[in-house]
Structure 1
Amino acid sequence: MSLIKIIEILAILVGAFSGFIEARSKRMDVVGVFTVAFITAFGGGTLRDILLDKRPLFWVTHDEYAILIFVLALTAAPAIRTLRKIVSERLIVVADALGLGLFSIAGVSEALAAGMPLFISSMMGVITGVFGGILRDIVCNEVPMVLRDGKPYAICSFVGCWVYLMLQRADTPADFSLWFSAMLISALRLAAWAKDVKLN
């Protein structure tokens, strides 16, 4: 299995986790939990594939991803209510930051492999990183986090995507470029949250 696929799977799992937590906080049933987890895990990648005119969509090609979310929703939903009580806000923020980093780098890598220009590739990374969370918040009747908390979010993704692109142009080993850039995005987001950095 390629490294980018491993990153993609990790991103899906982290995204689904945040979807589970948010859905249960809204007292949704198992169908709601699955729906929110699904759109969180696959929303950004789906929009990326549509914009890149890539068919079939990545989660259709890899139907095991959708099956995994389905099984997790069925098995995890009963325990999520308890988990919500013991999981701190800090852990949820960490999971969201990790998802942002992993999804962003998976997105920019896919766009670059599709032959997109550098700027478009970076934007595809940002879209992949943030759109699933936007859909999650809208379905949960919340103003999307990327638009409301005032802390750098999409900017962290944009910076990390450009670091990845520059490392690639410098012929840095692919494994290092992927992991370093993903973790940089996550670290920037967590630092902004911890230090209460505001854009406004």
Structure 2
Amino acid sequence: GLKTGGGSSGGSGNTFHYTFHRDPHAIFASFFGGSNPFDIFFASSHSHVFNGFDQEDMDIDNNDDPFSAFSWFGFNGINGGHRWHQESLHTQRKVRDPPVVHELKVSLEEIYHGSTKRMKITRRRLSADGWTMWTEDKILNIVIKGGWKEGTKITFPKEGDATPDNIPADIIFILKDKPHLHFKRDGTNVVYIANISLKEVSIG
């Protein structure tokens, strides 16, 4: 190997010798005292300590990826962090859509006996991934009980359109009396409407 000699200093006569090795492993061993200077970072011993946390005290899926430690503290790569940021923003921005209100006209006969109406709606739905949407038809069964007053509200919660940015609206049906040829409701009473002449009134 190559030998170099250093000059004496202060008359001590000490000489420094360095032997050059062609084997890089031997060079590492000379400077770091081991065959691999990076063993301290990537050793596969039973217990590791990272930032003051003992691996034995943590529920960790141990693997050979030296960068897997970042996932322990919530970092799943640039794309994962960006996706989490987008999803959290959408969750924070979601607002409840105002109710969708429809008039539902019913006859006096339907109010008297009770009835069931079937209403078809078309709405947008949201997939489990929180982004993909599709359109579907749904039948809403509206059960009308006998004696219900005009103005009664029937609510179907969150049956409106669903998008990544909203909370679906409620769909509300409000009962409205259909005009009847002879009768009219007055609160809880039914009034008979008859057109009579003055002569009929005087005669009785």
TM range (shorter): under 0.3
> Which structure has the larger Rg over C-alpha atoms?
2
Greater strand content: 2
Structure number with the bigger relative contact order (C-alpha 8 A, sep ≥ 6) is: 1
TM score, norm. by length of structure 1: 0.21
TM-score (norm 2): 0.21
